[in-house]
């Protein structure tokens, strides 16, 4: 497909796409795009490095590659010098392979002991590696997170990881564009996680397949960078290739002073360039969807896919198709019964969707002066070492511990339960992560996705509950 000529109005996506084409798309072959930043973690990289080694190839641009350890790393607190207690020899091997591959290929690694280590999609933005206008790839579906900065960021498979390592380019068919316009303002007690769950519920699980979403409108502009990342993070759960938000003053302020962001005059020059990264007036999207933020409530999921979501004060909906029927049977929920009041066994606050400082503050706001209901387990897992330090500096860890929650070391943890952190069979887990697939958080574990506030409220009540009630009791306006 031909790109619009530079004089025609273009979408933000078009601008990012056009400026990275090494070889245009043809009927025979996808386009070849230059990759500005390649993020790497231990799960999807070992085979890719092995492919390189088999052919005797070098990493093309180690300085544009950055690795971290997150999925298979234990989160149990350790004493200084104590070795990490991996869940399995396979988990240990993944980590050690990445350590070895990074050393051999001179790739920077935020490894054990590094104050930069964190979940790949928390760490990248936090270090200023993620910048507007970039193309960013990672062997991980939630790479869409980085689109919050106006970067074209998407997940790739292991073979593509090898291709990027060897060539610093990626082959892609041009996706279509979908504009999600969010008008109005989010009401008090309703946040970015509720907004994206509502958007996904509207679009459906595959509703954005083959598209790059651009989120626009006053409700999006009013979000913090953390909120924007939460929204873009879950674009993939509607099937989208990527999510985008045009960079603005909120973005530039967030980037100022970050380790890898440009500094001084270079920052000002970059900012002038970044300001042009907006969809032009009159540019056409392939599709458009609108939502009114002011009508939204805190959201929870009732099924086994993120699009199976409803307002927390709603009842379980009637199934519309066989997937819904199956999901309700899995969850043990009956149509018409209230979601509020469902007994909760474990609460997980963490993941690349909701484990940034603002998320932990949101949960701590509810927990302060309250207690986790006896019999309920609550795990709070910061998204990165930096988040952990910042949270501890302002006493959030103490709030969680005093309330009876476990305060852990950073990592993906119970989001995917690859490191040993998991629920027990049959449990209902309220989780701030992004996927409620059957058994993802452990065999037989049922997951309800929610915001940090809703998760914290569930820990206190021992049941699904409306967090707004606990916010009022705090005397918050
Ligand atoms: C392990 C990894 C490949 C996977 C992904 O691609 O997203 C994981 O991060 C997830 O969230 O399911
Ligand atoms: S926190 Fe969860 S969603 Fe994010 S990268 Fe890790 S496993 Fe994937």
Protein residue closest via CA to atom 4 of ligand 1: 140
> Could you give the count of Cα atoms lying within 13 Å of 283 in the half-sphere of its Cβ?
22
pLDDT value of position 7: 77
Say how far apart CA 93 and CA 72 lie, in whole Å. Answer: 10
For the CA of 352, the nearest atom of ligand 1: 11
* Structure ipTM: 0.99
CB atoms inside a 10 Å sphere around CB 78: 13
For the CA of 140, the nearest atom of ligand 1: 6
Q: In the numeric block, which tokens belong to residue 77?
A: 């607190």
Does ligand 2 come within 6 angstroms of the Cβ of 463?
A: no
**What is the chain's pLDDT, residue by residue, as a tens digit (477 residues)?**
445 555 799 999 999 999 999 999 999 999 999 999 999 999 999 999 999 999 999 999 999 999 999 999 999 999 888 899 999 999 999 999 999 999 999 999 999 999 999 999 999 999 999 999 999 999 999 999 999 999 999 999 999 999 999 999 999 999 999 999 999 999 999 999 999 999 999 999 999 999 999 999 999 999 999 999 999 999 999 999 999 999 999 999 999 999 999 999 999 999 999 999 999 999 999 999 999 999 999 999 999 999 999 999 999 999 999 999 999 999 999 999 999 999 999 999 999 999 999 999 999 999 999 999 999 999 999 999 999 999 999 999 999 999 999 999 999 999 999 999 999 999 999 999 999 999 999 999 999 999 999 999 999 999 999 999 999 754 443
Does ligand 1 come within 6 angstroms of the Cβ of 141?
A: yes
Mutate to test the pocket of ligand 1, among 95, 140, 419 (most ligand atoms within 8 A of CB): 140
Q: Indicate the SS3 state at residue 3.
A: coil
Residues 6+ apart with CB under 8 A from 158: 44, 45, 47, 48, 139
Say how far apart CA 123 and CA 127 lie, in whole Å. Answer: 6
Tell me the CA distances in angstroms from 451 to 311, 386, 394, 400, one per residue in order.
12, 21, 21, 16
Residue 104 gets which letter from DSSP?
H
Q: What ligand is nearest to the CA atom of residue 415?
A: 2
Say how far apart CA 388 and CA 374 lie, in whole Å. Answer: 26
Domains of the chain, earliest start first: 12-172 (3.30.499.10), 176-294 (3.40.1060.10), 312-473 (3.30.499.10)
């Amino acid at each position: 497909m031909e790109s619009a000529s530079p004089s025609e109005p273009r979408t933000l996506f078009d601008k990012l796409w056009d400026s990275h084409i090494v070889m245009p798309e043809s009927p025979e072959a996808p386009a070849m795009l230059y990759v500005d930043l390649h993020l790497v973690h231990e799960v999807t990289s070992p085979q890719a490095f092995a492919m390189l080694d088999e052919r005797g190839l070098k990493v093309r641009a180690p300085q544009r590659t950055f690795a971290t350890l997150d999925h298979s790393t234990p989160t149990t607190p350790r004493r200084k010098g104590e070795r990490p207690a991996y869940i399995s020899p396979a988990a240990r091997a993944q980590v050690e392979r990445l350590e070895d591959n990074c050393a051999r290929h001179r790739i920077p690694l935020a490894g054990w002991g590094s104050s930069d280590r964190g979940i790949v999609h928390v760490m990248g933005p936090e270090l200023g590696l993620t910048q507007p206008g970039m193309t960013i790839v990672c062997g991980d579906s939630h790479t869409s997170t980085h689109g919050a900065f106006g970067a074209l960021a998407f997940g790739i498979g292991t073979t593509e990881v090898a291709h990027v390592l060897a060539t610093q380019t990626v082959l892609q068919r041009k996706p279509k564009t979908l504009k999600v316009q969010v008008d109005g303002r989010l009401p008090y007690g309703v946040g970015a996680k509720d907004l994206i769950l509502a958007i996904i519920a509207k679009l459906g699980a595959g509703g954005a397949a083959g598209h790059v979403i651009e989120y626009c409108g006053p409700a999006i502009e009013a979000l913090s960078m953390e909120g924007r990342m939460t929204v873009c993070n879950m674009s993939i759960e509607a099937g989208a290739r990527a999510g985008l938000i045009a960079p603005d003053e909120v973005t530039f302020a967030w980037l100022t002073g970050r380790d890898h962001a440009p500094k001084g005059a270079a920052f000002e020059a970059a900012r002038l360039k970044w300001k042009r990264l907006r969809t032009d007036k009159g540019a056409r999207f392939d599709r458009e969807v609108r939502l009114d933020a002011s009508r939204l409530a805190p959201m929870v999921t009732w099924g086994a896919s993120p699009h199976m979501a409803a307002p927390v004060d709603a009842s379980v909906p009637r199934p519309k198709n066989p997937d819904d029927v199956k999901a309700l049977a899995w969850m043990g929920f009956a149509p018409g019964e209230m979601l509020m009041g469902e007994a909760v066994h474990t609460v997980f606050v963490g993941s690349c969707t909701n484990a940034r400082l603002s998320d932990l503050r949101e949960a701590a706001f509810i927990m302060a002066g309250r207690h986790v209901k006896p019999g309920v387990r609550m795990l709070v897992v910061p998204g990165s070492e930096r988040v952990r330090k910042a949270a501890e500096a302002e006493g959030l860890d103490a709030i969680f511990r005093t309330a009876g929650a476990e305060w852990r070391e950073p990592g993906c943890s119970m989001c995917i339960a690859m490191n040993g952190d998991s629920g027990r069979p049959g449990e209902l887990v309220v989780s701030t992560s992004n996927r409620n697939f059957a058994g993802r958080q452990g065999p037989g574990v049922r997951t309800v996705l929610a915001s940090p506030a809703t998760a914290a409220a569930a820990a206190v009540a021992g049941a699904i509950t409306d967090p707004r009630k606990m916010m009022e009791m705090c005397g918050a306006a």
